[in-house]
Amino acid sequence: MTNRIATKLAFRNLRSKTQVHHLQRRQTDRDIEDTRDSQRNALTQVLRPLFLCMTLSGTFDHWKIQAGHVSSRTLMSKCLKCYRITMLVLYIVNACRYFPTYLSISSFGPDLLTKLMVHLWYLLCILNGYACYKMVEDPKRLTLLLELFNVYHDRFENEVENFSVVSKVGKITSISMVLGWFFNIGNVVFAGYMLYTSNIFDNFIAPFTNTNPMSNLIKALYLVIHLFLSCTWIFTCIATMIFSLTLYFLFKQFVRTIEKLKSQPAQEVYHLLERYRKQHNALCDMIDVADDTFSLYVAFSLTVSMLLALMLLYNICWYNSIRSDPGQLISHIFWLMAVLTNLGAVAISTGMINHSAHEPLRTIYNMSLTGVTADFSVQVNVFLQRLNGAPIGLSAFKLVMMDKHTFIQIGGVLATYFVVLLQFQQ
């Protein structure tokens, strides 16, 4: 009887210990999974300030992007979708009500060019808003890009390397947000200065005029709209630049990793090369999705920004009335600085990807193929064909590949135009 009781007690203790062990192991597994989730979502977290600012300005939905496909039918998502559509319609109405201002133009001059510049900027903000709407609503774009980043992290990245890239992106995001708000506030301040202290930009409040008894209130309401337009213009550029730099950092990290093959023995290289080839393919898949996401915006931004920069240069260099008025001159210089910054940020950040994506070619070419097997030669040839094949990078609406040559051509056009203006003026 005593032995039977002792046996039951021992069994109960063993069962309780087993349950405690299972609970502890389950808790440990849950902690590990939570840690992995936090690592995978680290990119979304560092981009949170940008996403929130874009959501506030009516071009984004931070919570939908963060939750992926899960939150597409929530009440908040529906409300934010209505908000984005409302802002886009407001931008279109704002551009349409500006057309009657051309009726007062009697000749070609700075007045016409200034109105064209303002209208082009309105058009660019509409196109940016539409591009952002497509990014958020199409699940095959930004949401898929973030999911591919998570898959890439799970398959290839270790903790140190992942947080190295995310840390760089976080620092760039912080700096970009400071500069972005500087340009946004500066844009509104200059617009307000020109509205309240001069008659040059009275057409901003068209069809109303300064004779309206409520003109001051109308100007204040317009400046609110102007702030939203500026946020759409600046923050879309920042988002494109940051995602482009993220892909660039991932490729540079991959290049540093594959360069270690030079010091590896032949047998080790044989086992690692196929893994590196698949890793490069995963990065290329991310670039394809990023191109689908941002190519529309890149095309809009390059085209309209180039036109704005050329018109601003023409106004500043050609018309003495612009240079003699400090307010107009400062506003034109500020606009030119903002446009060139926007243009340079998009062209440089997107063009850097193409160079880094093909950079492993040099390492593969310098590998020793003495005494290798036929299977290894096939792996090398397949990798080389991908690196020597179609261009890898972002494009402008699938028409122009963004690389360093594109940036040089843009700079050459602007420099040549500026020199020609100076020559004709003399």
pLDDT recorded at residue 205: 84
Q: For the chain, give every domain's residue range.
A: 46-425
- Nearest partner of 53 among 184, 210, 205, judged by Cα: 184
Dihedral (CA of 260, 261, 263, 267) sign: positive
Tokens for 6?
A: 């002792």
Calpha distance 296→285 (Å, rounded): 18
Please check whether residue 206 is in contact with residue 346, taking contact to mean a CB–CB distance below 8 angstroms.
no
Q: Which residues pair with 401 in a beta bridge?
A: 395
Coil, strand or helix at 154: helix
Give CA–CA dist 280/412, Å, rounded: 33
Q: How many CB atoms lie within 10 A of CB 100?
A: 11
State the burial class of residue 267 (Cβ atoms within 10 Å of its Cβ: 0-12, 13-18, 19+): exposed
Q: How far apart are CA 2 and CA 366, in angstroms?
A: 79
- Rounded-to-integer distance, Cα 257 and Cα 279, Å: 11
pLDDT in tens, the chain (426 residues): 555 555 554 545 555 555 544 444 554 445 434 444 444 577 888 999 999 999 999 999 888 887 765 555 678 888 999 999 999 999 999 999 988 888 878 778 777 888 888 899 999 999 999 999 999 888 888 889 988 888 888 777 654 465 688 889 999 999 999 999 998 998 888 888 778 877 666 778 888 888 888 888 989 999 999 999 999 999 999 999 999 999 999 999 888 888 887 777 666 777 788 888 888 999 999 999 999 999 999 999 999 999 999 989 888 888 787 888 777 788 788 888 989 999 999 999 999 999 889 888 888 887 777 777 788 788 888 888 888 888 899 999 888 899 888 888 888 888 888 888 777 765
Angstrom distance (rounded) from CA 76 to CA 41: 21
pTM of the model: 0.84
In this prediction, residue 372 carries a pLDDT of 72
DSSP symbol at 359: T
Spatial separation of the C-alpha atoms in residues 298 and 329, rounded to whole Å: 29
CB contact at 8 A, 402 and 347: yes
Report pLDDT for 107: 79
Q: What's residue 36's pLDDT?
A: 44
